[in-house]
Chains A and B, each alone.
Chain A
Amino acid sequence: DVKVTQSSRYLVKRTGEKVFLECVQDMDHENMFWYRQDPGLGLRLIYFSYDVKMKEKGDIPEGYSVSREKKERFSLILESASTNQTSMYLCASSGNRGSNQPQHFGDGTRLSIL
């Protein structure tokens, strides 16, 4: 089974802090994704990566950056956390582009910015 592990289930940070969310997958997947999930808004794509050191903006990249130094690890960075970034953050991974494979998700990090 695919395993996507997010380092924290719950996280509380203060406005202005730099926040790191970590995600690791064990299936040697090329593609990795970061989403946020908010009530009534569904899943929104923040950033994705299709290879090591590669990154692409999703639909809502403002206020975020990412890092993919190793194939199995994809980090989401909140450069200066703000209260409107309080949300559930979900990491996902999938196989090669062009292949019909679903994304597999971690259990999420519920982040609160005070």
Chain B
Amino acid sequence: GESVGLHLPTLSVQEGDNSIINCAYSNSASDYFIWYKQESGKGPQFIIDIRSNMDKRQGQRVTVLLNKTVKHLSLQIAATQPGDSAVYFCAERNTGGFKTIFGAGTRLFVKA
């Protein structure tokens, strides 16, 4: 079946460095992509989204890149802080439907 996956289950970075979290998707019909952050004991929190007619979108310290040719999505976090430590999920959806497919998640550790 179609799925959203992540290349790395864990990522460890030094405080102040940039983090890059990668995600592959397989449904070519997906046209909307979302990144979530989930801290321990909390629900997933929306970070940033991107539509398939874009290849880059920036937020506050975060950038999402979309490469439709290779079906790849990435989340870049600039100047990573201890508060960024969490599990990050990518998700995809076909906006004609209801179903959102979530990746398994990558755990980001930030070393002080």
Q: Do the two shown chains form a genuine complex with each other?
A: yes
Contact of A99 with B95 in the complex, beta carbons under 8 Å: yes
Q: What is the 8 Å Cβ interface bit string for chain A, positions 85-112, against chain B (1 contact, 0 not)?
A: 0000010100001111011111110000
Given A48-B98, A100-B32, A105:B103 Cβ within 8 A = no
- Choose one: B34, B98, B102; the contact of A31 (CB below 8 Å): B98
Given A45-B99, A56-B98, A98-B95, A106:B49 Cβ within 8 A = no
Contact of B98 with A50 in the complex, beta carbons under 8 Å: yes
Contact of B41 with A107 in the complex, beta carbons under 8 Å: yes
> A residues engaging B (CB < 8 A)?
4, 31, 40, 42-43, 45, 48, 50, 56, 58, 90, 92, 97-100, 102-108
**Considering the complex of A and B, which 9 residue pairs feature the smallest CB-CB distances, nearest first?**
A105-B43, A43-B102, A102-B46, A107-B43, A42-B104, A105-B44, A102-B34, A100-B32, A108-B43
